[in-house]
Chain A
Amino acid sequence: MNNVKFRTFSMLVLVGIAILGMGFFTVRFVMFGEQWAGAPFNATAFQGGVLTAGSITDRNGIVLADMTDGRRTFAANGDIRRATLHAVGDRGGNIGTGALSLYAGELMGYNLITGSYSLSGAGRQLQLTIDAELSAVAHRALAGRRGAVMVSNYETGEILAMVSGPTFDPSDPPTSFDPAQGVFMNRGIQSAFSPGSTYKIVTAAAAIENISDIWSRIFVCNGVLVTGQGDVTCPGTHGSINLIQAMAVSCNVAFGELALELGGRLLDSYARSFGLSESTRIGGMSGVNTASGNFDIAPSNTAALAWSGIGQSTNTVAPASMLRFVGAIANRGEAVELHYLKRTGLSGIMPTSTARLLERNTARQLEEVIEIQNRGNFPGLEIYAKTGTAQVGGGLDPHAWFAGYIRNEGFPLAFVVVVENGGGGAAVAAPIANTVLQAAISG
């Protein structure tokens, strides 16, 4: 009997495993309960997939979503409704990045003790970091074109504008949606585009850290870079130029040469560590992932590598990831986690998480490289940015990019503008950025 008695300790092992399982479940319940309860099939807080409680305002208190007579309503101004659609969401719960879906748990007044069944049935008011007026300006500037405009504060990580086109009025949604248009998609976060010349910032960063004589290096551009397996053409013939001049004129020859010199593996590791070829997180634990980008490492084809180093080939980047990257340059190499839910209470006190993407010194030197000297098109803005005109082939117009930041007193703003098949970066994307930034600094 002693034998058997001793062996019954094995029962305690089983009980121990059960307690571990219980503990693991309880921890998950506490951590993710709000997200789980935020699923649109939680009929305690949703009716037919529509959240029945809670309201959303912008950073200045403008109401973006509310409940009126048991019905979900949106901002009073039509432009604001369309401009904030992808940050707020719609009645059908179609917008994955919309706060109505993403923060449904919070909105319904979920708390750990009483769950999603609130005593008063009222739900909570959420404040976004989004500036509704600024978003409306961006929406008008985008003028119905497909693309994305995002503005963030690079010191705090707060997103002030997140406009995606095409969009629709959530108060009066169209009866049917053309799936090819991807209207539910937030192009700033959920799409990745060929980045074009904006990628030259990446190549420049790698060159600054890895080529010792980079500041005395003179590139000779005669309009074409001949590689073993094909030519890389340059839109201009730039003659003898240094790195800063090469960036200013966006010389393909100079950056193609640098890409070949640095090699695919090294550039790939940079793209990865900058969060451009990977998915990055927006809004922390309860937030969303950006679309994963891609960097073409081109192991065997030297021409492809040169193209890859100037943002062509099969490279893609999500606009929000580019925003995070340029914001990190502005913030002396440190990327602050982007978010659009205003952090209040306990999470407001805790510092927002950051990641160091660049050495402090590299960031400072990179700033010199991307400074825009000719500010004629950007009156009153101390602007550091890069245009991109990403060839997409198939007879389509290129994607127009403009990404960077300004150093105006009191406005630590980073921005990214992408117009899908919009044309040239300087001609199409830069004016949109200027309009939005002017509106931002005039308050």
Chain B
Amino acid sequence: MDTIRDILTQMNEAMAGFDGDILPFVSMLIRFLLPILGIIIIGRCARSLFREKSESEIWGQLRLPNGVIVDLNFWENAIGRARKSDVLLEFPTISRNHAALIRDDKSNWRIYDVESKCGVIVNGKKLDSDAGLPIKSGDAIELGSVKMIFTAADNTDEYEQAVYRTRPGRFYKQATTLVFLTQFQILLGLQLSLAMGEEMTSALPISFLLLIALTWGAYILTRTLKRVAFEVETMGFFLSTIGLSVVASSAPTALMQQIMFIILGVCSFFVMGWFLRDLDRVKKFRRPIAILGPVLLLATLVLGTRAFGAVRWIHIGGMSVQPSEFVKIALVFAGAATLERLFKRRNLIAFIALIGLCMGLLAIMTDFGSALIFFVAYMVIAYLRSGDFATMFLSIAGAGFAGLVALASRPHIAGRFASWGNAWNYVDTAGGYQQTRAMAAAASGGLIGVGAGNGWFHRIFAADSDLVFAMVTEELGLIIALTAMSAILVFAVFAARSSGSARSSFYVIAACATTAMLVFQMLLNVLGSMDILPFTGVTFPFVSRGGTSLLASWAMLAFIKAADTRQNASFAVKTPKRPIYAGGGNMVYATGGNDVFDYNQQYEGGGRR
């Protein structure tokens, strides 16, 4: 109440001092409008993403001996006695993880023997290779003497199923959200121009107009590709807009460079999405891309320059590149895998070796922020793949030990820990200088900010990168800063949710690992600059200035699109072609849910449950 009374008093005083200059009032109005628009934009995107339950798809069926028909809801289906099997067969001769039925991009199915004791027999022929066996509709599969008939969905089935699924954007028109975003962009540009006054150059209007054009251009391209969902992109553009405002305030001469990187980022997003459409292609290039990770890091170590205690940058022709940002993408390719590979322990071990190598190289480069982010990605990937808590705990213990060694050997890291949590006792020393300024600046902004371009924090070193959260809070206020954080969290929740209807575990693991990295990176940036976690100096995805980080963040967004299987939603997911013949279809649609072939149903008084 005191606060509101205070503002009213201030307004009154400001009115009394009115001297015909209306611009301060416009700027004031914009300060109040921007947070409202921010909430509307992120709120609409989130609600649109989470409006519908994720609906499962049917890609094939198995007819069991008792006549029960089991749907195959994924491109990758595990068959076995294990509780979480996709086709659960409670039969003593069936192994826990018996077989995997996998559909590829071109509707070809293969069956793999995973960890069976009695083997897999297809049409009377025993499967004896790791590469699996192609199967087609009507084939008889025998697993541990349980016989079943396989049916694959044909083109008609897939088309019909696609048509009946809920289309996103029916409840929240994507274009309307974009109109709000455009208002946000225009108002922000206007406020910046008011703050800059005489010093404003043409770069400001040009860069903001380019951003608006890019936003709508990307939307029109999506619609041209006959796709409707644009929430993920909208949030990406929202964050990039804030990033552009940060650069306009901290380094106006770098505006054109920043907008160029945003354009490049969006291009890389579309290219990456296109690349991910084809799972066969992805599988083919997975290994080379994964190996690129440590190679890039090694290159940094050899060619890079040491700056501010860490070797992070390679300078190429006047441009500085931070390869570790791209290594994140390589890591996702290395970690994500299709189902038939998940059960093979040696695949996981190869991945652990790769990530260990990367983290070792990062330690030599003293880039501990990136090492931490890689570690979180590793944890998520390893857990999604193995579900094994023991491995997790071992990893944490190992990382903790490595962390202690790092602390002991690098005094400047230890120094950061010493000042952690009581930065105000280190106001003018290296341990707390940046954090105390960051906290003062953030608090100075209050909920609605002092207005874009009106802050002072941009004069502090790394204000627009490692400390960008403070700068956003100072100039745009806590509300917009929190909506920016929420946007990243929405990515993560959506990635987890889309696993329900995802086709391949590759897309699920990739989307989850990507968003886990984004979330953790954001947390390190925010809580590190606010003295809640030790200050590690990482960027806020999309918002921090820095071409490489921006580029990598946009490219990583494509992984989320690739996991978005809502109907016609994502350009990174293929839709079935209209069938040539009407009618028909192979599927038998049951009224109930998935039935389970139960041993007890068949054999009276069965021993186990």
Q: Give A contacts to B, CB under 8 Å.
A: 1-12, 14-15, 17-19, 21-22, 24-26, 28-29, 32-37, 39, 41-45, 105, 109-120, 122, 124, 345-346
Contacts and interface: CB of A to CB of B under 8 A. Distances in A.
Nearest to B54: A5
B109 to A, nearest CB: 15
A109 B10 contact: yes
Contacts of A39: 427, 436-437, 439-440
Contact of A19 (B383, B446, B489, B520): B489
Given A1-B502, A18-B519, A6 B84 contact: yes
Nearest to B339: A1
B28 A119 contact: yes
For the complex of A and B, list the 7 residue pairs with the smallest distance between their C-beta atoms, beginning with the closest.
A115-B446, A43-B456, A36-B443, A120-B13, A11-B496, A33-B443, A119-B10
| Candidate in A1, A24, A116 with the most chain B CB atoms within 10 angstroms | A1
A113 B519 contact: no
B342 A4 contact: yes
Interface in B1-54: 1-4, 6-7, 10-11, 13-14, 17, 28, 31
Contacts of A116: 443-444, 446, 450
Given A3-B387, A6-B84, A21-B527, A41 B445 contact: no
Interface stretch (B164-172, B250-258, B509-517): B509-517
A42 B384 contact: no
Interface string B347-391: 000000000000000000000000000001000100111010000
Contact of B13 (A7, A35, A119): A119
Given A4-B342, A11-B493, A14-B492, A114 B448 contact: yes
A4 B505 contact: yes
Contact of B442 (A9, A22, A36, A346): A36
Interface of B: 1-4, 6-7, 10-11, 13-14, 17, 28, 31, 73-74, 76-78, 82, 84-86, 339, 342, 376, 380, 383-385, 387, 427, 436-437, 439-451, 454-456, 459, 474, 477-478, 482, 485, 489, 492-493, 495-497, 499-500, 502, 505, 508-509, 512, 515-516, 519-520, 522-523, 526-527, 530, 532
Contacts of B437: 39, 41
Given A4-B342, A111-B6, A112-B3, 11 more contacts: A3-B342, A4-B385, A8-B499, A14-B380, A21-B532, A35-B443, A36-B444, A39-B436, A110-B443, A117-B454, A122-B10
17 contacts: A2-B84, A4-B339, A7-B384, A12-B493, A14-B520, A15-B496, A32-B439, A41-B437, A42-B440, A42-B456, A109-B10, A111-B2, A114-B446, A114-B447, A117-B446, A120-B13, A120-B14
A36 B86 CA distance: 54
B7 A119 contact: yes
Contacts of A44: 444, 450, 454-456
Contacts of A34: 443
B477 A12 contact: no
B444 A45 contact: yes
A105 B478 CA distance: 17
Nearest to B383: A10
Contact of B526 (A12, A21, A110): A21
B232 to A, nearest CB: 16
